[in-house]
Chain A
């Protein structure tokens, strides 16, 4: 079955620690995205990648970093510089980036709690 997997589903970390969230897709999609969801707010874009070895900052990239070494994988690192890291993180992919013709497919999400 094709789809997007994110792991783990729940993640707990102490303040000051970096943490990496996994996102893998087997849809052969070029574009991948990371969103953050907070209660009462719409999804906000953290980073996106249109092709391997390339990625762009989204609207709230501060305190986050990404890599795109393989087409299938787009891990997100939440660094200690992120002031409010506790949130629900969603990974998505689409066949082509920033286009009206292609749907986005979402992963199941990772709920990160930092104390």
Chain B
């Protein structure tokens, strides 16, 4: 079974700080997703990556396949970035019936 661990579970930071959220998994994957869940519950897909690095605005996602690790970075953080960030991995081994295993999420609060 693919275990997905996110750290930290909770993170409170001041506006403008550089934020890093980590995701580690135990079994080789074909893709990794970073999702953002707003306080109301809706989920938005931020990134899907299988290697290297992707950037969108102030968000950067990296993945190291050999180390089975991914990071999500937020530069110049803002209170509107406050949300739960979820890592999900897709693999052929031990995932859910749809191949996905979700982490428990990192609850981020950015204070003004």
Q: B45 within 8 Å of A by Cβ?
A: yes
Q: Is the CB of A41 within 8 A of B104?
A: yes
Interface-facing stretch out of A16-24, A56-64, A66-74: A56-64
Q: Is the CB of B98 within 8 A of A45?
A: yes
Q: Is A42 an interface residue (CB 8 A)?
A: yes
Q: In the assembled complex, which residues on chain A have CB atoms less than 8 Å from the CB atom of B44?
A: 106
Q: Which residue of A has the minimal Cβ distance to B29?
A: A100
Which size class do B's interface residues fall under? 20 to 34
Inter-chain contact B102/A109, CB cutoff 8 Å: no
A58 adjacent to B90 (CB under 8 Å): no
**Smallest Cβ-Cβ distance to B45: which chain A residue:** A103
Whether A81 is near chain B, meaning CB under 8 Å from some CB there, is: no
Q: Does B63 reach chain A (CB closer than 8 Å)?
A: no
What mask results when residues 74 to 112 of chain A are scored 1 for a CB within 8 Å of chain B, else 0? Answer: 000000000000001010100001101101111111010
In the complex the two chains form, is B33's CB within 8 Å of A103's CB? yes
Q: Say yes or no: B4 contacts A42, CB within 8 Å.
A: yes
Is there a chain A Cβ closer than 8 Å to B30's Cβ?
A: yes
Residues of chain B within 8 A (CB-CB) of A44 are 96, 102
Which chain B residues border A33 with CB–CB below 8 Å? Answer: 98
For residue A23, give the distance in angstroms from its CB to the closest CB of chain B: 13
On B, residues with C-beta under 8 Å from A are 4, 30-31, 33, 35, 40-45, 48, 50, 86, 88, 90, 96-105
A-B contact pairs, 10 of them (CB 8 A): A45-B96, A45-B98, A45-B100, A57-B97, A97-B98, A103-B45, A103-B48, A106-B35, A106-B42, A106-B44
